[in-house]
């Protein structure tokens, strides 16, 4: 699938890894599970990345709390063979700037509610 970010999560320890193949990945002695974007039943408007195109950049925001126990861990833009990622920290704003690439996909990862995405037009 175009612009898809393939991630797997360990159900025991919570580790998340980027998977480039469809092979099983083992952590804590068990197979890690696929993370599916936009699949958790919670407030979509607080997780899906919003964006605004400003000249040749995409300004990304997520209207989400940024507390030590609950925050957006990172934002990412995926376009064909490119990935741009910004790591975020609690008490920091959930914002980032990426190059504008029409048709790319924006991802946000919440430490409690998983992966969320939106397409850039």
Q: 24-37: per-residue pLDDT in tens?
A: 889 999 999 988 88
Q: Per residue in 5-51, pLDDT tens?
A: 888 999 999 889 988 777 788 999 999 998 888 877 777 778 999 99
Domain count, the chain: 1
What is the separation of C-alpha 79 from the centre of its chain, rounded to a whole number of angstroms? 14
Cβ-contact 68, 49 below 8 angstroms:
no
Q: How confident is the model at residue 55 (pLDDT cuts 50, 70, 90)?
A: very high
83 in a structural domain: yes
17 in a structural domain: no
pTM exceeds cut of 0.85:
yes
63 in a structural domain: yes
- CATH number for 64: 2.60.40.730
105 in a structural domain: yes
52 in a structural domain: yes
Give the domain extent around 95: 37-119
3 in a structural domain: no
24 in a structural domain: no
C-alpha span between 13 and 1 (Å, rounded): 28
User: In the predicted model, is pLDDT for residue 1 greater than 70?
Assistant: no
C-alpha span between 7 and 115 (Å, rounded): 9
């Amino acid at each position: 699938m175009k612009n898809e970010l393939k991630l797997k999560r360990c159900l025991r320890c919570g580790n998340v890894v980027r998977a480039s193949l469809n092979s099983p990945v083992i952590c804590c002695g068990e197979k890690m599970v696929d993370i599916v974007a936009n699949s958790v039943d919670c407030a979509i408007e607080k997780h899906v990345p919003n964006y605004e195109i400003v000249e040749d950049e995409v300004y990304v925001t997520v209207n989400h709390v940024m507390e030590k126990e609950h925050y957006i861990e990172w934002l990412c833009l995926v376009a064909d063979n490119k990935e741009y990622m910004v790591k975020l920290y609690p008490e920091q704003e959930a914002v980032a700037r990426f190059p504008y690439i029409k048709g790319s996909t924006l991802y946000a990862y919440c430490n409690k509610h998983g992966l969320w995405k939106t397409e850039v037009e």
